[in-house]
Structure 1
Amino acid sequence: MAEGDGTPGDGLEAEVRALREELAHLRRHRLVVLYQSVPRILFFRFLSGMAVGLGTVIGATVLLSVIVWAFSQIEFVPIIGEWAAEVARAMAEGLEADR
């Protein structure tokens, strides 16, 4: 089959050729090259897990401390205000005991 002679296989050959070129281009992509090594995959997954875990801990700590502080400032709701004040007092005592 000569190229461009109008046979039905011309379109198929051109599509296969284009597909091969696209696959060759994809194989050279940085992400594909990066993920062809199992130790690299494990290393990057470990690092991303550590980052997510650290972010979760820091975020929860900040959020919880803001909530407890806000509750300790509420004096007009007797149950919540007293409970939050007691929690804040216990945390302050714990910090002083660590010193």
Structure 2
Amino acid sequence: MTDLSKSEIEQLSNAIHKLNDHKYFRIHDSYLKMMFYQLLRGISFGLGSVLGATVVVSLVGFWLSQIEFIPLIGDWAAALAEEIMQELPQADPETPASGQ
């Protein structure tokens, strides 16, 4: 074995203390904190995925509905857009909007 000098041992000790004080190890020092952190990560990932997919699908749907020079895709996209518009709740003109 090699003999480590006192300064080298002190440097290793300081490096270990610095590593143990790192944010990752402070968060994961208990199962409860780790589970809460992972729950928040999962919720954030799921919400971001759903919102991102919603934006992408709506943009692609809008873009496809604008294509009329390709008969098959244009007709299909127009029918899809019409069906989506029928499913949206219609505002009643006699009922005032909430918050007024």
Which category describes the TM-score, using the shorter chain as reference length? Answer: 0.7 to 0.9
Counterpart of 1:48 in structure 2: which amino acid?
R
Matched residues, number: 90
Q: Given the two structures, how large is their TM-score scaled by the length of structure 2?
A: 0.79
Deviations 1:33-80 (A, max 9, x none): 221011111101110110110011011111101111111111100000
Return 5+ residue gaps in structure 1 as ranges: 1-7
Q: Given the two structures, how large is their TM-score scaled by the length of structure 1?
A: 0.80
Question: Matches of residues 1-99 of structure 1 in structure 2 within 5 Å?
Answer: 9=3, 12-14=4-6, 15-96=8-89
More helix by share: 1
**Identical counterparts, % of pairs:** 35
Query: CA RMSD, aligned part only?
Result: 2.0
What secondary structure sits across from 1:41 in the alignment?
A: helix
Q: What is the CA distance between 1:24 and its match in structure 2?
A: 1.8
Larger radius of gyration: 1
What secondary structure sits across from 2:5 in the alignment?
A: helix
Residue number in structure 2 paired with 1:5: none
Return 5+ residue gaps in structure 2 as ranges: 93-100
Q: What is the CA distance between 1:96 and its match in structure 2?
A: 3.7
